[in-house]
Structure 1
Amino acid sequence: MTHAHQTISLGFTNQPFPPGVHICQIFCSNDERQASLLKFILSGLQSKERACCFSDNATEQAIGEFLGNYGISSNDVIDSGALTLAKTRDVYFKDNCFDPERMLSLLTTYYTDSVAQGYPAARVIGEMTPDIQHISGGNRLMEYESKITLLLRDHPVTAVCQYDSRSFDGAMIMDVLKVHPLMIVRGSVVHNPFCITPEEFLTQ
C-alpha cells in the first residue's frame, strides 16, 4: 500500500511526509481546528486515499460545502467508503466507556480494509473532547496515544489528533505532547522535542 505513495500531502502544510505519521494539533480557535481538518480530508481524497474524521464539531454540511468547492461530492465519497464521518463520542466513547484496545483494533481494521480495497494510503483525523476526563477508561488515553505510534509502524495510517487548548489544562496538554512524535506549530509540522518513545512511556 505505502509503496505507491512514498510521501503524502497533509493538506495544511507543503511539507511531504511518509504515510503513517502520528501528529498532534493543540489548537486555540475553532477556525484553526476547522482549517486543518478540512485541508487534511481534502488532500487525502484528492490523492485517492481513504479518509476518516471523528469530530463533534465538524458538521457533514460544512465538510460537504468545502469539498464541493473543489469539485468533490461528499455524498459520492461517503457512499463509496472513501470518506467516513463520525462523532467523537460515538466512536471513542461507545457504551459510555473509553477502551484503548477497541480503538486500536478499529484503526488496525481500518488500515487492513483500506489495503484490501486498493487505496494507496489511509488517514484519520480525530478531535478529542474534554468528556474523556469523565468517562470510564479515560485515564488510559495517553496509553492509547502512545500505542498508536507503535501500531503505525506496521499499519501506517496517517493520524492527526486534535486537542483544544481551551478545554484541557496544562498538565494534560503536556501529556499529549509526550505521546506524539510530531506536532503542528503555526501551520508547519515539526518534530516534537517533548515526545517520549512508546517503549519508554509505557514502562513509566
Structure 2
Amino acid sequence: MRDGSGSVGGDAADRHVAVEYSTDDEWAAHLVRFVRAGFDKGEQVQYFADATDPRLVTRTLAGRGVDADSAVRRGQLVVTTADETYLTGSRFDPDAMIGLWRRAVENAAGQGYGNLRVIGEMSWGTRHMTGAERLLEYELRIHHEVFEQLPLTAWCFYDRRLMASEALDVLADAHLTRKGAAPRSHDRGGLSVAPLAGRPGFRLSGSAGYESRRVVAAASAALAASTAEDVTLDLSCLDHLDVAAFTDIAHAARRRASGTPLRLVGAPPALNRMMELFPELGAGLQGAGQ
C-alpha cells in the first residue's frame, strides 16, 4: 500500500487513508504529522473526535510544538465531535454524511482554503445505534463519490484497543492506503471489499459465504447506491461465492438508479453455473462469463 501523506489534487487513494494505532503515543504522532502538513500547505484542518476528549487534541498539538490555539482562533483548525458530524440525529446515514463532506469543502473554500483536511475517529462504529452497520458501505462509497471529486484529504482513525481486529481489518481494507497496519496472517480467511483504483467499482477478495454475509450486504448496498453510471465488480480474487451472496449482488444490480448493468469481471466458474441454474438473477449483470 502507498503511504498517504495527502496532497491537493493527488490520487484519491492517497487522500482517503485508514490509520491504525494501539497507543496514545501512536495516536499523537499521526495527529501531529497530519496537522502540521495541513498548516504548512495553508489548508483548513478539522478533527472529528469520538473516544478522545476534544480538548486533548489541542493540548497534544500544543505540547508537541504546534500552535493550535492560534489556528483555532483564525478558523484554520476546527475540533468537533462525531455526534456533530457522522451522527447528526443520533444515527448514521451515509448519504447525509456525503452531503456534509460537500458542504464542508464548500465552506472551507469560502474561507479561502483550497483544500480541506480532516481526521475522523471511527470508534463510534462500535456503538449500538441506528445506521452503524452501514459504516462499511460508507467507506466503500466515498472513495468514488467524495475523494475522486473533491479537494479533500481525510485520515480515518481506527483505534485497535476499541475495535475487534476482524471488524477493523474489513473496514481498513475498504481504503486503498493503510498506515500503521498490524501484520496479518495470509490465511485469515473471510471476505474483504475494496474500491477499484481509477474507475467506479469494487473488488471482492476471499470467501463470500455465510460467515461474511454482513460484508456482502454492505458491498451490495454500496453497489446499489453508487451514483456512477458504469460500475465494475471485480471477482478475480474471490475464492468462494455462495448462492445467497450472489443473490444479494444480483438484487443490488437491479436496484441501481442509473439502470445500467453492473459489469462483472473475473467471475469464477461457480458463478456461471449459478447463472445457468438461476437465469432470472442475470438481469442487471453484464460480462459474467468473462
- Please report the TM-score for the alignment, with normalisation by the length of structure 1: 0.77
1:103 maps to: 97
1:120 matches 2:114? yes
Question: Once the 2 structures are TM-superposed, how far is the Cα of residue 33 of structure 1 from its aligned partner?
Answer: 1.4
Distance 2:120 2:5 in 1: 21
The code of the aligned residue for 1:122 comes to L
Aligned residue pairs total: 184
Asked if the contact 1:53/1:124 (under 8 Å) is kept, the reply is yes
2:128 maps to: 134
Match of 1:164 among 159, 162, 174: 159
Question: Once the 2 structures are TM-superposed, how far is the Cα of residue 177 of structure 1 from its aligned partner?
Answer: 2.4
Q: For structure 1, which segment, 31-40 or 54-63, has the greater mean C-alpha deviation from structure 2 after superposition?
A: 54-63
Question: Once the 2 structures are TM-superposed, how far is the Cα of residue 178 of structure 1 from its aligned partner?
Answer: 2.6
Asked if the contact 2:174/2:195 (under 8 Å) is kept, the reply is yes
Structure 2 stretches lacking a partner, 5+ long = 182-191, 203-218, 224-248, 250-290
CA displacement 1:150-192 (0-9 Å, x = unmatched): 1111113101001112222233112212311111037xxxxxx
1:10 maps to: none
CA root-mean-square deviation = 2.6
1:18 matches 2:17? no
Asked if the contact 1:34/1:58 (under 8 Å) is kept, the reply is no
Asked if the contact 2:19/2:157 (under 8 Å) is kept, the reply is yes
Distance 1:97 1:194, change over 3 A: closer
Asked if the contact 1:130/1:167 (under 8 Å) is kept, the reply is no
Task: Considering Cα pairs closer than 8 Å and 6+ residues apart, tell me whether 1 or 2 has the greater RCO.
Answer: 1
Superposition map of 1:3-82 within 5 A: 17-19=6-8, 20=12, 21-56=15-50, 57-64=52-59, 66-67=61-62, 70=65, 72=67, 74-82=68-76
Asked if the contact 1:23/1:181 (under 8 Å) is kept, the reply is yes
CA displacement 1:97-151 (0-9 Å, x = unmatched): 1111221111111112222332132100011115544110111111111122111
Distance 2:65 2:25 in 1: 19
Pick the structure with greater CA Rg: 2
Structure 1 stretches lacking a partner, 5+ long = 1-12, 187-192
Question: Once the 2 structures are TM-superposed, how far is the Cα of residue 84 of structure 1 from its aligned partner?
Answer: 0.9
Question: Once the 2 structures are TM-superposed, how far is the Cα of residue 69 of structure 1 from its aligned partner?
Answer: 5.4
